[in-house]
Amino acid sequence: MTPHCRIFCAFVFLGSLIGFDGAVHGEPAAPLRFPNAQYEPLEWANLDGWAGDDHAAAFATFLDSCHALEGKRRPSVEMMEITAALKEVCARAQAAVPLDESGARKFFEDNFRPVQISKLGETDGFLTGYYEPIIEGSRVPTGEFTAPLYRRPPNLVVSGARKLGDTFPSKGVKVGRRVGRRKIVPYYTRAEIENGALDGWHLEICWLRSEIDVLFAQIQGSARIRLEDGSILRVNYDSYNGWPYTPVGRVLIDRGIMNRDEVSMQRIRDWMEANPDQAKGIEQENKSYVFFTITNLSNEDEAVGGEGVPLVPGRSIAIDRALHVYGTPFFIQADLPIANDKAATKFRRLVVAQDTGSAIVGTARADIYFGAGDEAARIAGRIKNTGRFVMLLPRALDPVLAGRDMPLPAARPKVVKVAEPEADAGTAVAPGEAAAPAAAEVPLPEEKPAAEPGPPVALTPAADPTSAVPVPVAKPKRRRKE
């Protein structure tokens, strides 16, 4: 990266901290407004594994997001510039169809600038995996299936929103239940809901074997419920109760039940099933609770992400929706434990932001979708690794091109150094210390003239030193009037 670009990138980052948007009367805008983040423009040749990826598969995934972007409502001010730039790229992508492998690679290289992004002071981001579980269930409660899977309650509200429609905000809003006409109080916690707070509301979609099954469906955000007659019921994330998400694995680590190295989704589940009494208290430490909706997907369809498009295993990621725009491509470089427990599989892949989750927080944070079923569950459960995040930024927002027109700051004035006096040959001077001037060189003040002696003074009582302090004259006494 050139020195000019370093200055410009630092300027844009500073603007993100103080709220400067960079768009002034047609000047290039500063689109990267990520708090507590840093980024560095790269060249395609510097991306390890870029040439070996399946660009045609990534292009098809990107096209799915393009279709979703067409029908989206106006984005927020913070996301407006990058959304508009992505739509322009999407128009060119749709006009270029069909593309083979080499054509797809050239399309990405011509239309995007790779920009490595990370948390301020760090190099890598953090990756986890998720999947769609297949869970046994029943449409009615039985002795075997006792844990309800709930749809959104009617008293779940968002402060300031009169009508929510199909989309329920997952972050950045106050969620609760309305009391009276205006007051909103926190919604019921997981413990309160599991202890019957929603009984009698008739919100049950189906029943699962245990609250552990419900918890894991909520963590993944979707599920395939295999009912007693063999049919499959597809459910997807709809909303949540507004409480922050607390990972169960973190609780187990804090209590000394597991160490950080051995935590995985499968090991957490095995422990909870082996210790059901303790597990109830552990999982209720997570006050967050997810509500579902029934989808019309067939058994062959993949789960639908937050963007509204079917997820692609190994190509779709969930990101922090408060910081990133759906449809943004990322190139991920990481060594992951996909084949086994060892992080030995080189994951060098172009992925697309198509989903979100309440546990996904930060600029360089992603959850990789691995599909449905037991094998996807095993892979996703092992992923908790660092990785390099390279965001593909539309060329219209290329910070390198914008930096070429950015004026450099004025040069600093030269500092004039004062020559130090030479030390005497016989005087030792400590390193880094200035030599002290000789004593003869220090100017002394002029001597005062000596006072001439005066005539002798007789020591009269008035001149006695002991009576040098004048005595105040006595006030005349006042006569009292008779």
- Residue listed under structure tokens 């037991």: 374
Mean pLDDT, rounded, of the chain: 82
Q: Residue 71: what are its φ and ψ, rounded to 5°?
A: -95, 5
Q: CA 135 to CA 372: how far, in whole Å?
A: 11
In angstroms, rounded to a whole number, what is the distance separating the alpha carbons of residues 86 and 326?
A: 10
User: Hey, is 345 helix, strand or coil?
Assistant: strand
C-alpha torsion sign, points 185, 189, 192, 196: positive
Closest CA to 105 of 47, 48, 42, 59: 59
Specify whether the backbone of 198 is left (phi greater than 0), alpha (psi in -120 to 50) or beta. Answer: alpha
Q: Is residue 284 part of a domain?
A: yes
Query: pLDDT value at position 6?
Result: 38
DSSP 95: H
Total domains, the chain: 1
Q: What is the pLDDT of residue 160?
A: 67
SS3 151: strand
- Is 252 a domain residue? yes
Peptide bond into 31 cis (omega under 30): no
- % helix, strand, coil for the chain, step of 5: 30, 25, 50
Exposed / middle / buried, residue 382 (Cβ in 10 Å: 0-12, 13-18, 19+):
buried
Q: What residue ranges in 295-359 does DSSP mark as E strands?
A: 316-319, 329-336, 345-356
32 lies in a domain? Answer: no
Query: Among residues 301, 300, 305, which one has the least CA distance to residue 316?
Result: 305
Q: For position 201, what pLDDT does the model report?
A: 96
Indicate whether 64 belongs to any domain: no
Residue 251's domain comprises 134-294
Going from the C-alpha of 55 to that of each of 42, 197, 470, the distances in angstroms are 19, 50, 108
What lies within 8 Å, CB to CB, of 423 at 6+ separation is: 429, 435, 436
Cα end-to-end distance, the chain, whole Å:
109
Listing DSSP states for 431-452 in one string gives: TTPPPPPPGGGSPPPPPPPPPP
Q: Give the single-character DSSP code of 319.
A: E
DSSP string, 183-248: EEEPPPPHHHIIIIITTTS--EEEEES-HHHHHHHHHHSEEEEE-TTS-EEEEEEEEE-SPPP--H
pLDDT of residue 180: 81
Token pair 């927080």: residue: 361
pTM (predicted TM-score): 0.73
- The three-state secondary structure class of 334 is strand
Cβ neighbours of residue 183 closer than 8 Å, sequence gap 6 or more: none
Question: Tens digit of pLDDT per residue, the chain (482 long)?
Answer: 444 443 334 434 333 333 334 343 344 455 466 778 898 999 999 899 999 999 999 999 999 999 998 766 555 655 788 899 999 999 999 999 999 999 999 999 999 999 999 999 999 999 999 999 999 999 999 999 999 999 999 999 987 655 555 566 666 678 899 888 778 899 999 999 999 999 999 999 999 999 999 999 999 999 999 999 999 999 999 999 999 999 999 999 999 999 988 888 889 999 999 999 999 999 999 999 999 999 999 888 999 999 999 999 999 999 999 899 999 999 999 999 999 989 999 999 999 999 998 789 999 999 999 999 999 999 999 999 999 999 999 999 987 766 565 566 667 776 666 555 554 544 444 444 454 444 445 555 666 665 555 555 444 444 444 444 454 555 555 544 44
Q: Is the residue at 129 inside a domain?
A: no
Q: What is the CATH number of the domain that holds 202?
A: 2.40.240.50
